[in-house]
Structure 1
Amino acid sequence: MSLRRRLSTSLPQLLGFTNRSFKSLKFPQQSLHCFNSSSESSLAHGIHVFHCPDGVGIVAKLSDCIASRGGNILGADIFVPENKKVFYSRSEFIFDPAKWPRAQMDEDFLKLSNMFNAMKSVVRVPILDPKYKISVLASKQDHCLVDLLHGWQDGRLPVDITCVISNHDRGPNTHVFRFLERHGIPYHYLHTTKENKREGEILDLVQDTDFLVLARYMQILSGNFLKSYGKDIINIHHGLLPSFKGGNPSKQAFDAGVKLIGATSHFVTEELDAGPIIGQMVERVCHRDNLKSFVQKSENLEKQCLVKAIKSYCELRVLPYEDNKTVVF
């Protein structure tokens, strides 16, 4: 039977596949059960991600777990790498919290996790669970920081910002300082030197966070800091092609006449700018660009790429893959 024919079969048959000849499978965003319109207002939206050794019946058990509690799968994205016995999935579903209490949901997915020896199993219900708490670290450049603050203010970012930390002193009359003061977000200026990165003080300030964001923070975090913090840190940097290192990379690239610029979001590791990549964006430039438009395009890419990485992380779209890669659903 052809692959096209197999994918058009009914869902119960599809859930029985075990020997997959394809690398990725997406279920369409459609209802698998019928709900009347009067009950839809009481339903909540849930997300579940799963990473475990590949085996028989994983999809069926995941689906049964949700359906047995009256839940309705809206979409499922599955990835099984070729020639590797590992399984990744991300499912979105709706459910009635009165029929499936949040604590019971955790217990049900924990049983599945134990059943399949999962390396990662996370469930999130955005309207019931607390928002992710983050701290933002920034240096002198404002473009990524300001964009994050406006995204948070507009509700485009599902996070709570606990504080902003910087090695650059922003005076009380600057627009960033006034914004933070108006919204009650603490601003901490920590002067750093080569001998003292103030990492102990930073750790004290970020202990109550779920992850950190480096919004063009131009300091290298040590391995001791990363181990002590123990949670994910998302970074953004330019991805000018070809690469230009050192001071003022945008001017270097402009002077060299490059035709393609970019930005990369990634997790922070001990190796500088070499952590697992979350996302990348590129844009063409040409002889008509002057240095101002060139820099503006580069900064716009950085802002967009960073915001997208944060949203993807909060929506449980990012999973670790092999030693230095990610699966991004």
Structure 2
Amino acid sequence: MSLMQRVSGSLPQVVGFAKRSIKSLRFPGESLDSSNSSVLTHGIHVFQCPDAVGIVAKLSDCIASRGGNILGADVFVPENKHVFYSRSQFIFDPVKWPREQMDEDFKNLSKMFNAMRSIVRVPDRDPKYKIAVLASKQDHCLVDLLHGWQDGRLPVDITCVISNHDRGSNTHVIRFLERLGIPYHYLHTTKENKREGEILELVQNTDFLVLASMKLSLQLISGNFLKSYGKDIINIHHGLLPSFKGGHPSKQAFDAGVKLIGATSHFVTEELDEGPIIEQMVERVSHRDNLRSFVQKSENLEKQCLAKAIKSYCELRVLPYQENKTVVF
């Protein structure tokens, strides 16, 4: 099931924000000088339903009635579309509002408004996303993701790295993976044999996939693979799609003499580089850039753009909008 098809409660659970004790924030009726300060926990709730009067009020009441406190809320109601989107961040006392009760409360709210999507997550208590990274010969995005995982900047668990490039045992990537305890699977692929069955077996327990090389969307991912996997796949592409699609995008852009380069992170669909866009970043270049500096700037953009897209996805900031768009709070 893709992001565009996913319904309430089907997204995996996440970890992102840290648990903290906040004396300056209190539940209604509690004194600021109370000696028994509660350890408050963050929650995230995303909601998509037909637009109606009173949704925000009911959402707020659902949280406040259990002693929770909303820290931030984003709402989007597109013109003439009769649909409501929201993402709320709140803190609560898990003793006063147990998770089972929370799920039930939001479930009742979902029924009240006939919601297409109602997802609640408690980041510091729910399991992290499990992902597999598919990489080709280029290392820059792969290495950046590994560092982000190691440093705790990305709220994911990397189960394995799969590649159609045979890296030697003494390369820095393999040594790094060995230190981190992450398996590396080399699968020689051809147009006639993309090894899809073996890849599917390796990623069966993941929550989504990340393509750390744009080439992989050409070499590994087919419509059959997408249907068999049934979950989201996030890709990184040099350039602001739909410009410079296909092979050697940096050289295409360099030869075209562009003055602004970019990177696009998007969901993978059967149509090459046509999936819903999650994140885009840009940087200026000039006639003073040679191909080497041009590529270096492009790779830096790709790393930043992919990491930002993954983080947004894990924090439940990305929601489907219309047929081929996204709402990113």
Q: Which runs of 4+ in 1 moved over 3 A?
A: 30-41, 240-247
Partner of 1:23: none
Partner of 1:188: 185
The answer to whether the Cα contact below 8 Å between 2:62 and 2:105 also exists between their aligned partners in 1 is yes
Partner of 1:178: 175
Q: State the AA in 2 paired with 1:209.
A: T
1:76-95 equivalent positions in 2, closer than 5 A: 76-95=73-92
- Say whether residues 1:146 and 2:143 are aligned partners: yes
- Say whether residues 1:64 and 2:61 are aligned partners: yes
Match of 1:137 among 134, 137, 143: 134
| Secondary structure at the counterpart of residue 43 of structure 1 | strand
Give ranges in structure 2 of 5+ residues lacking alignment. Answer: 1-23
The answer to whether the Cα contact below 8 Å between 2:240 and 2:280 also exists between their aligned partners in 1 is no
**CA offsets 1:186-240 (integer angstroms, 9 cap, x no match):** 1100110000111111111111111111111523311111111111111111116
Deviation at residue 291 of structure 1 after TM alignment: 1.3
Tell me the distance in 1 between the aligned counterparts of 2:26 and 2:117: 26
Partner of 1:159: 156
Tell me the distance in 2 between the aligned counterparts of 1:302 and 1:90: 27
Tell me the distance in 2 between the aligned counterparts of 1:322 and 1:266: 15
The answer to whether the Cα contact below 8 Å between 1:32 and 1:73 also exists between their aligned partners in 2 is no
Partner of 1:11: none
1:1-329 equivalent positions in 2, closer than 5 A: 36=32, 42-219=39-216, 220=218, 221-239=221-239, 243-329=243-329
| Secondary structure at the counterpart of residue 265 of structure 2 | strand
Give ranges in structure 1 of 5+ residues lacking alignment. Answer: 1-29
Q: For the structure 1 residues 92 and 110, does the alpha-carbon distance in structure 2 shift closer, same or farther, using more than 3 Å as the test?
A: same
| Secondary structure at the counterpart of residue 147 of structure 2 | helix
| Secondary structure at the counterpart of residue 280 of structure 2 | strand
Deviation at residue 88 of structure 1 after TM alignment: 0.2
Q: State the AA in 2 paired with 1:191.
A: H
RMSD over aligned CA atoms reads 1.9
Tell me the distance in 2 between the aligned counterparts of 1:285 and 1:217: 21
| Secondary structure at the counterpart of residue 287 of structure 2 | coil
Q: State the AA in 2 paired with 1:174.
A: T
TM-score (norm 2): 0.87
Aligned residues: 300
Tell me the distance in 2 between the aligned counterparts of 1:315 and 1:65: 21
The answer to whether the Cα contact below 8 Å between 1:46 and 1:124 also exists between their aligned partners in 2 is yes
The answer to whether the Cα contact below 8 Å between 1:240 and 1:253 also exists between their aligned partners in 2 is no
The answer to whether the Cα contact below 8 Å between 1:133 and 1:161 also exists between their aligned partners in 2 is yes
**CA offsets 1:102-131 (integer angstroms, 9 cap, x no match):** 121111111111111111111111111001
Q: State the AA in 2 paired with 1:268.
A: V
TM-score (norm 1): 0.87
- Give identity over the alignment, percent: 85
Deviation at residue 245 of structure 1 after TM alignment: 4.6
| Secondary structure at the counterpart of residue 286 of structure 1 | coil
